[in-house]
Amino acid sequence: MALTSTVYNLDVSLADADRGVYDDLALRVALHPSETLEFMLTRVLAYCLEYEEGIAFSKGGVSDPDEPPVRVVDPTGRVKTWIEIGTPDADRLNKAAKAADRVAVYTHKNPAILLRQLAGRRIHRAAEIPIYALDRALIADAVPLLDRRTSLSVSVSGGEIYLSVGSRSLSGPVTEHRIDITI
């Protein structure tokens, strides 16, 4: 018997001062059986940090190799932004860079390991792909606070994420890295 996804209903109050984006979001997020809560939370934070008209979680979920975990599409259905989570391989990023105007990666893992894996690999427009590393302590501290129905506040200012879940307030930096294409 196949395992089914667990659905999380997240009410997010988003205040991104860096981009001037303020909105209340009612997110219904499926946690795939092969996915960790850390990965799911990173998907949710990437969604918030990239939030704009046309953003959506992948219909096929994280198990669909042909779709990004998060994407932004224009009204015609063209993928404007392909958003990867975790540690995507070079082939996947190459495919993404050919399919979308912009590609971004959000990772909750050690970015140095991902950057070493991608360095010198053949990736279309590699120099244009930002790798955003979320603070690993922030993710680790926030995961135990998540319930299947959770209200949270996500504020962004000066490259720092401020996350409030219930009575707990957490914060951590988002650091941007680039793929070394010179190797």
- Residues 124-149: b if buried by 16+ CB within 10 A, e if exposed: ebbeebebbbbbeebbebbeebbeee
| Predicted pLDDT at 4 | 85
Q: Which residues contact 14 (CB under 8 A, 6 or more apart)?
A: 21, 22, 23, 24, 25, 48, 51, 154, 155
Tokens in use for 177?
A: 């890295």
Amino acid at 43: R
| Predicted pLDDT at 176 | 97
CA distances, 80 to each of 14, 54, 144 (Å): 22, 9, 33
Domains of the chain: 6-178 (3.10.640.10)
Name the 3-class secondary structure at 17: coil
What CA–CA distance (Å, rounded) separates 71 from 177? 20
Q: What does pTM read for this prediction? A: 0.94
Number of helices and strands in the chain (H, E): 4, 10
| Predicted pLDDT at 151 | 97
| Predicted pLDDT at 167 | 92
Name the residue among 178, 179, 160 with its Cα closest to residue 45.
Answer: 160
What CA–CA distance (Å, rounded) separates 126 from 146? 34
What CA–CA distance (Å, rounded) separates 68 from 144? 26
| Predicted pLDDT at 66 | 81
Q: Which residues contact 172 (CB under 8 A, 6 or more apart)?
A: 134, 135, 137, 138, 139, 160, 161
Q: How far is CA 126 from the centre of its chain?
A: 18
Q: What does each of the 183 residues of the chain score in pLDDT, given as a tens digit?
A: 567 889 999 999 999 999 999 999 999 999 988 899 999 999 999 999 999 999 999 876 566 778 999 999 999 999 999 999 999 999 999 999 999 999 999 999 999 999 999 998 999 999 999 999 999 999 999 999 999 999 999 999 999 999 999 899 999 999 999 998 775
As a residue count, the chain comes to 183
| Predicted pLDDT at 2 | 60
